Structure formats: structure tokens, C-alpha cells
Structure 1
Amino acid sequence: MSQTPRSNARAERTAAGTKRRRIRRIPRWAAWCTGVGVVLMLLSGAALGGSEALLNAATSKVTQRNLLGSAGGERHHQSITGAKNILLVGLDARPGQNPNDLVRSDSIILMHIPADHSKAYLVSLPRDTLVEIPAYDNGVRPYRGGQNKINAAFAFGSQGLTGAAAESHGFELLALTVKHITGITPDAGAIIDFTGFKQVVQTLGRVCMYVDETTTSIHVGKDANGRPAGPYKINPDGTVNHRIPGVTPNIYTKGNHCFSPAEALDFVRQRDLLANRDYDYGRQRHQQQFLKAVMKQVVSDGLNSPTKLPSLLSAVGKAMTVDDGGIKLEDWAFAMRGIKPDSITTIKTNNGTFNSRSVPGVGSAEILSPTSLQLLKSVREDDVQAFVAAHPTWVTADSAAPTTG
């Protein structure tokens, strides 16, 4: 994003002043950039600033791929007008590992943008939600379809594949499953690599947020000599087996915290030892809060530094893979320029409480309540604002903490 070299000092000063003004005008797009699948809107400030160089530089950092496949709409002649729904998927392990190991989606979020493009809503689908996964052939290992937890859809779509092919096929089957249970055709999609967000936080230096319940790490701790050590023995399915003697786990107490990159990544992964015993509901809420806190901090800390901004864009580009749904990123950017971090509302399915049932061959699974189905219907019909007004307790409290200190 450097300016074209000038032949005299006056021109250089003018270019520097222009650069500073452009950076001050970026908050909206950079906030989107470091958020979730809303990276689709990361360019809005650049579009408004009229800087082709800035626009091209930002676009080049975004990894783009057709993820939706047959689950998406017609990709030709798509329009940015009207309500939009973006499917965001976080992974607990990126494809590229042993092809015999199934990769399950760690978090599944529907981002709804109303027709007026003034705000956004994030709706998380619990990873243990009981669904009917449609039959699917990825060209290597066909899946016959059947009843299972929703996070298994990505696994069945990607099985036998690695790398980009695993991502694309896993995402497609998950999108087909979401479409089947909600009636919503995603307009775009994105894969979020929470490990990649460690570098985003590294660029910012830290991320400050409010921890709404004391959280004990099952992954990170210290031994008696103060050396890093795993505090718990973990089962192959990711659950806790037993505590490791002599190792003290990291504990993130309720209250304001400014996390280091490693702490931030560890915190958003936790689901087993949460004070409120809300497990996946707690983790999905914390991931939503973390992403929103990062967006806010980019606006407050990351945009006024010409040295931070390029690294920030690069880190976000590596942390996400985006399917623009056939709409140019520049068009997404301009249309979503009015959405700010404070305009994002996160909503809890099942009001954040368990509605479990034991299912033969599946185990304990979450059943979406009738009110959760109403929520998804409001997303489909672009009436989420009315749902939120009628169900205010379903909205997740903001988590951003002061960045002083």
C-alpha cells in the first residue's frame, strides 16, 4: 500500500498526508477484514477512498475458492442488492492431515445481513445439532446420507481428501446440510482458521475482551518448574480423560482480560471446563465475542499504523478462505460499508441452553427448539430484527473490554 515515489520533497509530503487520511478512513473495511466471513466486506473503505492501489492490495491478500458448490445459488449475474446470508465455518483442524482422519467443523455460523445492509446478525448452530445429512459423492468416498450431528457433514464431505479439495467438498456438504434444515441458500461462505487468528492477534499485540465465565484450559498449563505442559490427558475425540499430576492449567477468570496471541487461541478452543457448564454453547458464544472484540480492536489500535496494516491484511488473508458467491469482493465491500462492529448482533440458538436427546448410533445430540426454528425462519425471511425484539435474552452480551493498561 505504499505510494508511488515522487521526485521532490513536496510531492512526498503530499503523498504521505494522503496516505494518513486514507488510513483514517479505513475503519469499516478493516473491521470487517479481521472479523469472520465478513472479510467479504473488508474493502469498503478502500472503495470509498477511491484508491485502486489500496483496493488491489487488500484483494490480493484474500484466499478465494468455490466452497459452496451446488449448495450456492446461480453464480452468474448475481446482484449485491437485497438481504444476504453468509455461511461461516471454523475448523478444529485444517485439511492436509492424514486423509483417514475426519475433520469436523468446530463452529458453524450463519451471518445474516438485512436488505438495507445497515447491520449484521451472527447465528451459531451448535455443532452437535441433530440433522439429516444428504447423500454426497466427493469423487473418492461417497457418503450415503443419514442422521448425524451437523459437524459430521464437513467430515463426510472431505473424507479421503486433503488440502483444498477437502476444504471445498467438506464445506459443500455442510452447506447442503444447512440449506436442507433451514431452507437458506448461502450467498457466500468462508472457512475460519482460528489458529490463523493467532497471527492476527500477534500483529495487534493483544486482544482485549470481557470473559463472561471463568474458563479452565484443558490444553495449556505449567509444570512445577514453570515450564509449559498439558494439564489434562485428552481422549481421541477431544474430551478430557484425567488431570495430569503436577501441572497447573491456565485459568481465565471472569472479568476483563487482554490476551496474548497464544492465550486468545487457547481461550476460544475451550468447551469442557467452563464455569457455567455450557460446553459448546459457551464456546460458540466465546468465539463470537472474540471475533467481535478483534474487530473493535482493529478499529481502535490497528488502523492508525501504516506499519501494522499490511501485516494485518496478510494475517487475515491466511486465516480465512472465502467464497464470494459470484459477487466481486469490491461490490461486497461497497455495499457493506455502513456496517460497523457495534452493528453486529450475536444470537444464541436454543437461548444458549441444552436441549439434548440420546440418539442410537449418534449419541447425545442437540435438538433445535421450536423457537430456534423460528429464529432460522426469520433469517430466511429477513425478519431477524423482529425476532430479536421479541426474544431479547437470546442476544449475546458484548464482550469488548477497555484496551488501556
Structure 2
Amino acid sequence: MWRGLLAAIAAAAVLAGGGTVAWRHYEGSVERMDLLGEAARDSPPREITIESAPRPTGGPAIGLPRDTAPAAAQPGRNILLVGIDARPGEDQAGARADSVIVVHVSAGGDRAWLVSLPRDTKVDIPGYGTDKLNAAFADGSKEGGRAGGFALLAATVRRVTGLAFDAGAIIDFTGLRRVVDAVGGVDLCVDVETVSVHIGWDAAGRQTPPFRLIPPTFRPEPVAGVRPQVYPVGCRHFAGWEALDYVRQRELLPDGDYGRQRHQQQLITALGQRLHSAGVLGNPLALHRALTAVGESLTFDGNGRSVTDWVLLLRGLRPAAVTMLRTNGGKFTAAPRGGTAFEQLDPTTLELFGAAREDRLDAFAEQHPDWVVPHA
């Protein structure tokens, strides 16, 4: 979801007239919390036990080591980005993480790699047992609010990947809509017809959900008399509400969550391009609205570094130097249990995280070119 956004924010902030001095004005609008907990780089590593999809017969066994190297020895920097779909009343209790992305910035600071973890990944959530990855945020937030939700999710991700984190951030989808509206909308090219399960209209023209999601698998069932919002194949301009609805869809896409990840990536790329455009950078009022919306949409933990410090650290990145990698090669690996459709990370994905721990994702991408998401 986030490819290009960090680079765009940093560059836009520095170009805002007055450089980092100007950015400090927007830094004050960013909510700061202690989010990382035991997943922070300076916290001691925990024992890691990972269940992965079996490798084809004859292949070597792959897994994360039980005793990982100290986090301080891991080269480069790691950031955990979480997008939440928080509805009214869910901010502090029960919001689920719909987008979980690990960002690895190379030791030289000139490359960044983004790996989106499937929300249905089968994981062991500390203190809660086996569940889907996105449940970790909901479990932690019930008593600890956003900070508790992120900390439990981050601890779970650390156990899955072996990575400790130098920073973490939350953005809710309502905030993303505000950012898109602040830049005047974005241009997107829809690659596959996408039918909304969230937005539709009844015979009287009133907005209402066009599908019911039937548990336990949340299979969408059409609601009689309601016409769903449809995004046909082709390129056009999207307002904030359309862009938000478009990137939330997965139930009716041929490739499910991987399709949603791709659409989220396309949106953030388009948003980054819009932030860099003359219509925003060349218009002080538009740039002010955009950076204010970004700041108000973020909850951030820099693990001892300020937002300004991170802007300076990342300002050398350009969208072309930010690469997104697919987990499981973009293919769903089913791990059903008790009627629940989990996804299980395959051995090559665990190799991917091993490469991140050793700051050699460039070599991994060269060996697995089909795991690289092309720049939109």
C-alpha cells in the first residue's frame, strides 16, 4: 500500500519552502505513541518458531532460527507500516489491521524494499494462540487502544520475520481518504473490473451495502434490489471516497488479497506522483493541505527519533528506488483449520525475510524476479 508514499512525503516536505524548518510545522500534527514494544530494535529477541507451508519433496527444510542474531546486528533499518479499517467506535477496541507492510531500508539508505504480509496469514499471536495476522491488532487494542494493538501486531510480525523495527506508523483508511481529497484526487488505471461489496444504491438512490458478508468465511451474498458500485477496466480520475472503496475490495477479485495489495500499491504510487506534481508542489495552499492531511492521518513511533529525523533519513529515496516484493510469489497458499481459511507463508517467503535480516534483498529479487511487483 505504501510504495512511494514515504519518499513523496519526505521530498514534498523538504521542497515546501524552508526545508526541514517548514516540515517542523507539520510534524506537530503527527500523533506520537510508543507503538513498537518488544518488537523495537533495542528489545531482546524472543524465541521464534515458524510453521511454513511444506517445501516440495526433496527440498531442504526452511525455517527461522530459534536463536536469532541480536537485532542491533541486523544491517539497515526496518519500519512497520499498518493500515487499519477503523469504523466508528473501533479506534480503541477491535479494529483489524487490513494492511501490514514491512519496509526494509538498505544500510546505505539508497534503496527500500516493501513486503506486504497477507492479513489472513496463519500466526501464533502471543497470549492469544493461533489466528489470522490481522486479528493481532484487534486483540491488543481491546485493552491497550491503538498502542496496544500495534505492539501486539508488531511482536507477532517480529516472530514471523525475525526482524526488529526502528520505527512504526499507523494510518487509518479514513485518513487516507483525507489525503487523497487534499491533493484533489488521483488518476488510477483499473486493471480488472472491481465490484464493491461495501458501497451500493437501492431503488430510491440511497447508499447502502450491496452484499452481506456471511461468516465464518465471509462469503459475499448479494442484497436484493441494491446496485453495487462498479469500477470498470480503464483509466480515470478518482475522488477520495472512490479511491478508498476501490482499494478496500478483495472478496470478488480473482486473486483476492493479492489483488487488493496491488490496487493499494497503485493508489499510493499515484498519490506519491500527485504530491510531486506541479499542481501540488507549485501551489503553497495545496501543499499545505496535503501535508496537514498526511500529518493528521499518522500515528508514529520513531523509536527515539523524531518525525523530522526520519524525513531527513528518507529524503534521498525516490520512487524508482522503492521496490515491492510479493510474499508467496503472489499465490494463495491455503492452510484451512476448523473451517477457517488461513494463508500459510511458504519456505521461499521465509528466505525473503532471511535476506531482509542480512540486507541482501537485492540478491533475493535477482534470484526471484517474478516476486517483484512492477512499478505502476
Change (3 A) 1:107 1:200: same
Equivalent of 1:69, from 37, 57, 66?
37
Separation in 2 of the partners of 1:389 and 1:204? 36
Indicate if the aligned counterparts of 2:365 and 2:371 stay in contact, CA closer than 8 A. yes
* Aligned residue number for residue 53 of structure 2: none
By how many angstroms is 1:226 displaced?
4.2
Q: Over aligned residue pairs, what C-alpha RMSD do you find? A: 2.8
Q: Does 1:151 align with 2:134?
A: yes
CA distance in 1 between counterparts of 2:371 and 2:107 reads: 22
Aligned-pair identity (%)? 42
Aligned to 2:155: 176
**8 A Cα contact 1:157 1:172, kept in partner:** yes
Give the one of 101, 110, 123 matched to 1:131: 123
Deviation of 1:39 (Å): 8.5
Report SS of the residue matched to 1:291: helix
Hey, what does 1:117 align to over in structure 2?
A: 109
Asked whether 1:325 is paired with 2:293, we answer: no
Q: Unpaired runs of 5+ in structure 1?
A: 1-31, 136-144, 400-405
* 8 Å Cα contact 1:199/1:315 also seen in 2: yes
Residues 5-404 of structure 1 mapped to structure 2, 5 A cutoff: 35=5, 41=10, 45=14, 51=19, 53-74=21-42, 83-93=76-86, 96-97=89-90, 102-135=94-127, 145-159=128-142, 161=143, 165-235=144-214, 239-274=218-253, 277-300=254-277, 301-360=279-338, 363-399=340-376
1:172, CA displacement in angstroms?
Answer: 0.5
Number of residue equivalences: 346
Larger radius of gyration between Structure 1 and Structure 2? 1
Q: Deviations over 1:223-254 (max 9, x none)?
A: 34544332223347793442122322111122
Once residues 219 and 43 of structure 1 are traced to their aligned partners in structure 2, the CA distance between those partners, rounded to angstroms, is 33
Is the CA contact 2:81–2:170 (under 8 Å) kept in the aligned structure 1?
Answer: yes
How much does 1:41 deviate?
Answer: 4.3
CA distance 1:238–1:325, change in 2 (3 Å) = farther
* TM-score normalised over the length of structure 1: 0.78
Q: Is contact 2:124–2:130 with CA below 8 Å preserved after alignment?
A: yes
Task: Write the deviation string for residues 86-136 of structure 1: whole angstroms up to 9, x where unpaired.
Answer: 00111121684397x63221111001111111122110010111112222x
Letter in structure 2 aligned against 1:380: R
